[in-house]
Structure 1
Amino acid sequence: MPGAGEQHQDGIGRPDALERLWTPYRMAYIRGENKPNDASARQCPFCRIPAMPDREGLIVHRGELSYVVLNLYPYGSGHLMVCPYRHVADYPDTTTDEAVEIAHLTKQAMRVVRAVSSPDGFNVGMNQGSAGGAGIAAHLHQHVVPRWVGDQNFMPVIGHTRTLPQLLTDTRDLFAEAWPG
């Protein structure tokens, strides 16, 4: 790979002055490799994850009705999701107990991320339905995305790239260790 100031070649061999930051793991997301073909619980990754060992599934914490997991295709470092175990798509269809636990685990996730990573802020929310931006609309999940001033700057807008300074399993281990008893 050329050093700073050296020219690279574009995709057809012409030199340019752009640096490259390769994120090949994103290709699986772009191709939709882990996205279910239908809305069934059998194909749903959020239904399959709880059957995995915590580290393999990137599970940070297991509650009674919901669990906290790192996003396999994160918007930024430390991007967590709070998912009910039950295969449910629409937030109003959660039980009162599920809604309470999702809220509690979201608050706890923010506390843990603050303690471990000291973000400047958070984006927290649910994308409901395909039109609402849900990548997997059949199983609701609450996003907890830590943010730092200038964290996403030009990279995702111009470069269509997200930068992640740490392996997901290392981030998962830090969060799981910091999660209270």
Structure 2
Amino acid sequence: MTEGPVPPGADDPGEPAASPYEPVELSGQDGVGAPDPFLRLWTPHRMAYIAGENKPTSTEAGSGCPFCRIPGLSDADGLIAARAGAAYAVLNLYPYNPGHLMVVPYRHVADYTELTRAEVDDVAKLTQQAMRAVRIVSAAHGFNIGMNQGEIAGAGIAAHLHQHVVPRWGGDTNFMPVVAQTKVLPQLLSDTRALLAKSWPTD
């Protein structure tokens, strides 16, 4: 027998046996089925929305309504950017664009015509402040602002009124949402909330 070092995986029990397979480098396509030319950006937060996560099963006020429950959390846990006397501004958990906020009265009320003068004033004031804060943080080019009144009009939670403040930028409606039906969000919601709260105007 020839003296000398034993090749790894041969007769040396201290070394693992050599694999008969060539090493394979994983890619973004692994596990998605038949190979095709497309890369995939996964947006599981949208599936949670589609599946109805956090959607109340009742129209009643209370802990079953997320907009009633959120004000009882800390600002960080509830993703609240700012509070006023009769309403608050909170990040949308399933945003259409980065910085998508909602302005919500504390009171569980469905219809805009049912708001008190103080609630109308605070919803309007917080909407203005939300626009200013988003412009400071991310230089939004424009906004979509509005509320869907009733399920037939597209309100996800129709029983508790909420006004959307959606920042817009030139080119934000590109091939991703139009063709791929995918929205890419480059920042965690908690980080967005912290930036907006820090830059929220007081007037």
Q: TM-score, normalised by structure 1?
A: 0.92
User: What is the distance in 2 between the residues matched to 1:149 and 1:72?
Assistant: 23
Matches of 1:134 and 1:97, distance apart in 2: 23
Cα gap change, 1:150/1:107 in structure 2, threshold over 3 Å: closer, same or farther?
A: same
Unaligned 5+ segments in structure 2 are: 1-25
Please give the secondary structure, in 1, of the residue aligned with 2:151.
coil
Give the alignment's Cα RMSD to 1 decimal: 1.4
For the Cα contact (< 8 Å) 1:10–1:16, is it kept in 2?
no
Map 1:112-151 → 2, pairs under 5 A: 112-151=133-172
Which string of whole-angstrom CA distances, capped at 9 and with x for unpartnered residues, describes residues 120-148 of structure 1? 11100001111111111011111000001
Query: What is the aligned partner in structure 1 of residue 112 from structure 2?
Result: 91
2:121 is paired with a residue of what secondary structure?
helix
Aligned length: 176
Structure 1 equivalent of residue 45 of structure 2: 25
Amino acid corresponding to residue 36 of structure 1 in structure 2: P
> Normalized against structure 2, the TM-score is what?
0.83
Superposed CA deviations along residues 125-176 of structure 1, whole A, max 9, x for unmatched, are 0011111111110111110000011113122222121110100000000000
C-alpha contact 2:146 2:164 (8 A) present in aligned 1: yes
What residue ranges of structure 1 are gaps of 5+ in the alignment? none
Percent identical pairs in the alignment equals 62
1:33-90 C-alpha deviation (Å, 9 max, x unpaired): 2000010112110000000010010000010000000000001100000000000010
Q: Flag as ranges the 4+ runs of structure 1 deviating above 4 A.
A: none
2: distance between equivalents of 1:87 and 1:36?
Answer: 13
Deviation at 1:26, TM superposition (A): 2.0
Structure possessing the higher radius of gyration over alpha carbons = 2
